[in-house]
């Protein structure tokens, strides 16, 4: 099992380097309004690998025969690590201790309204993350993944309603094509599995339904906040993670307070649990960077593509069997990703060209 994470560990340093690069200004092409297709593909590839590794690792930690850890504590620690990383990157971005303190004083301590504004997505994200642990504790990974892809049309709808953004007919077709492809990929992917745990399917489906709604709303809300001002991305992250820590600590106390007092905060933690927390922390920061320069629907397609990798990993680790529907679904997923990434045709320039041609004809 441990050897299967080596390819992911090789990618993670590059992800961290890219985070620094984005804020240092050495990737000026990324700061353009029209993000290049190459950068979109880069984001898609990295996020796909990290999402696949996170799903498989999380499922493994919730179904192993070892003592089960408290998922609420894992969500809380993830928020703490995200906050520390954001503070460190902001310190490097400001360049001096004085400017760093001034930035915190102005944007964090001196902006209670902004903290309140960012407490909305932090609360919703906390619910979503806890629901993901609950769902993967009660549902097979395949069922979880296919159902969770309902967040894509949910995000698209929130994007249209909250950001006043329009999607082309081709993009809408690709959204539902992706959902169809994901359904095929996960349609009875295996008749047997090496992992046998007691599950409550109804509870798992309920958790996924809540997580889908939270994902769509919180992602678009945070994107709107990011793109509505010139405030540093890392300042926004600090504002959100401060609220997130408070919310998750309340969740720890209300959900597992009595047992944690008896067994300890880090009860059941293993190297794999810390690996899940690490992926969630770094992946969350990287996702916030990608949202700043692309959009949430692109993030949804990355997660969908990760399903293919997750299924392949499940074949090797959990004994899943590839079927014909898996092959057909994979094709649909790849086609839908390609269709969504196609640039829109600039009809304005076409119309201007046609007008100029008509004028030349009239002149002749």
The 10s digit of each residue's pLDDT in 282-305 is: 876 776 566 556 665 666 567 667
Length of the chain in terms of residues written: 364
The pLDDT assigned to 79 comes to: 93
Higher-pLDDT residue of 265, 222? 265
List, for residues 313-339, the tens digit of each pLDDT value: 777 777 767 778 777 877 787 787 677
Q: Residue range 89-100: average pLDDT?
A: 86
The pLDDT assigned to 133 comes to: 92
Read off φ and ψ for residue 167, nearest 5 degrees.
-110, 140
> Do 286 and 19 touch, CB atoms closer than 8 A?
yes
Read off φ and ψ for residue 342, nearest 5 degrees.
-65, 135
pTM: 0.75
List, for residues 5-14, the tens digit of each pLDDT value: 444 444 444 5
Q: Residue range 36-51: average pLDDT?
A: 76
**Least confident range of 79-93, 112-126, 218-232, 247-261:** 218-232
Cα-based torsion angle of the residue sequence 52, 273, 129, 155 in order, rounded to the nearest 10 degrees: -10
DSSP 95-136: -SHHHHHHHHIIIIIT-HHHHHHHHHHHHHHHHHHHHHHHHH
How far apart (Å, rounded) are the C-alpha atoms in residues 221 and 210? Answer: 16
The pLDDT assigned to 16 comes to: 47
How far apart (Å, rounded) are the C-alpha atoms in residues 338 and 342? Answer: 6
The pLDDT assigned to 321 comes to: 72
Three-state DSSP at 229 gives coil
Say yes or no to pLDDT of 191 above 60. no
How far apart (Å, rounded) are the C-alpha atoms in residues 108 and 90? Answer: 12
Q: Residue range 15-31: average pLDDT?
A: 45
Q: Is 229 exposed, middle or buried (0-12, 13-18, 19+ CB in 10 A)?
A: exposed
């Amino acid at each position: 099992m441990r050897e299967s994470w080596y390819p992911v560990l090789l990618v993670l340093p590059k992800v961290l380097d890219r985070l620094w690069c984005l804020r240092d200004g050495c990737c000026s092409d990324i700061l353009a309004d029209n993000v290049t297709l190459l950068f979109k593909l880069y984001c898609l590839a990295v996020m796909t690998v990290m999402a696949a590794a996170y799903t498989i690792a999380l499922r493994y930690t919730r179904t192993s025969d070892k003592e089960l850890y408290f998922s609420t504590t894992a969500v809380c620690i993830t928020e703490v690590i995200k906050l520390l990383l954001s503070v460190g990157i902001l310190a490097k971005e400001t360049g001096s201790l004085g400017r760093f303190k001034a930035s915190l004083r102005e944007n964090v301590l001196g902006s209670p309204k902004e903290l309140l504004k960012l407490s909305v997505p932090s609360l919703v994200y906390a619910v979503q993350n806890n629901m993901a642990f609950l769902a993967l504790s009660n549902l097979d990974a395949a069922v979880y993944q296919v159902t969770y892809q309902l967040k894509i049309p949910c995000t698209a709808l929130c994007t249209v309603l909250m950001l006043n953004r329009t999607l082309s007919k081709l993009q809408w077709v690709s959204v539902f094509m992706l959902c169809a492809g994901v359904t095929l990929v996960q349609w009875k992917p295996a008749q047997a599995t090496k992992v046998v745990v007691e599950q409550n399917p109804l509870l798992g489906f309920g958790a996924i339904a809540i997580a889908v709604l939270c994902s769509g709303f919180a992602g678009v809300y945070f994107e709107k906040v990011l793109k509505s001002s010139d405030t540093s991305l890392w300042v926004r992250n600090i504002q959100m993670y401060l609220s997130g820590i408070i919310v998750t600590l309340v969740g720890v106390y209300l959900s597992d307070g009595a047992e944690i007092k008896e067994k300890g905060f880090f009860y059941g933690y293993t190297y794999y649990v810390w690996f899940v927390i690490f992926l969630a922390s770094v992946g969350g920061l990287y996702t916030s960077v990608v949202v700043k320069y692309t959009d949430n629907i692109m993030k949804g397609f990355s997660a969908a593509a990760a399903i293919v990798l997750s299924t392949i990993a499940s074949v090797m680790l959990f004994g899943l069997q590839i079927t014909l529907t898996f092959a057909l679904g994979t094709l649909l997923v790849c086609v839908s990703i390609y269709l969504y990434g196609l640039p829109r045709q600039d009809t304005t320039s076409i119309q201007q060209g046609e007008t100029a041609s008509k004028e030349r004809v009239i002149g002749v």
